[in-house]
A and B are shown apart, each in its own frame.
Chain A
Amino acid sequence: NAGVTQTPKFQVLKTGQSMTLQCAQDMNHEYMSWYRQDPGMGLRLIHYSVGAGITDQGEVPNGYNVSRSTTEDFPLRLLSAAPSQTSVYFCASRETGGNYGYTFGSGTRLTVV
């Protein structure tokens, strides 16, 4: 099992550029979420999905879009990058019920200049 795979690991964007952060899981988990982590602020929920075809907004959704066409994939799109989006982005997945524990990907470190 690969778990949760995120690509790329590092990315530098110029202000105004767009890009997609990829996330894939092979555990057949229904729940998937995107979090961003900034120093001293913990992890903040951007968007989440409770299953294929179903997505919704989290705490800080502005400037981001998501889609969930398959159970495995949950890409995060930055529409027009801004310096405020410089952060570490984590994708996570979990099964429905059980101990509700998330499995996190290794993260994408994004810098917007």
Chain B
Amino acid sequence: GQSLEQPSEVTAVEGAIVQINCTYQTSGFYGLSWYQQHDGGAPTFLSYNALDGLEETGRFSSFLSRSDSYGYLLLQELQMKDSASYFCAVRGVNYGQNFVFGPGTRLSVLP
């Protein structure tokens, strides 16, 4: 099967850097995605990593280590609007190579 672990909550101040970790177990691995979801809204896609290393997209970066079954989302220059839940999702061999989501991490950005 597939399972993922994330911290349930993270708190940081405006302008700071925060890292949200994700560890996964999966039968076969194709990639790891990250999504952002504001309260009452729909998840929005942030990034996808299939290979080891760091991918940068503006203030957000995502890292993957396949040997450690581990990834993280790095948010820099935090803004109040970054307060949201963040989900990692793993793409494995199950469910037609579809994505299984983690439980989510709630990020609170304080002024």
| Contact surface of A with B, Cβ cutoff 8 Å | 31, 33, 35, 40-45, 48, 50, 56-59, 90, 92, 99-107
Contacts and interface: CB of A to CB of B under 8 A. Distances in A.
B63 interface: no
Nearest to B102: A42
A58 B45 contact: no
* Residue of B41, B102, B104 with most partner-chain A CB within 10 A: B104
Interface in B74-100: 87, 89, 91, 95-96, 98-100
B32 to A, nearest CB: 10
A48 B99 CA distance: 10
A106 B102 CA distance: 20
Contacts of A105: 42
A90 B45 contact: no
A101 B42 contact: no
A100 B33 contact: yes
* Residue of B35, B45, B99, B104 with most partner-chain A CB within 10 A: B99
Contact of B42 (A44, A56, A104): A104
A31 B95 CA distance: 12
A35 B44 contact: no
Interface of B: 4, 8, 31, 33, 35, 41-45, 47-48, 87, 89, 91, 95-96, 98-104
B45 A102 contact: yes
Given A58-B95, A99-B45, 14 more contacts: A31-B98, A33-B98, A40-B8, A42-B4, A43-B89, A44-B101, A45-B99, A45-B100, A48-B95, A48-B96, A48-B98, A57-B95, A99-B47, A104-B43
B101 A42 contact: yes
Nearest to B103: A42
A97 to B, nearest CB: 11
Given A42-B102, A48-B98, A56-B95, A100 B31 contact: yes
B96 A42 contact: no
B100 A90 contact: no
Nearest to B46: A101
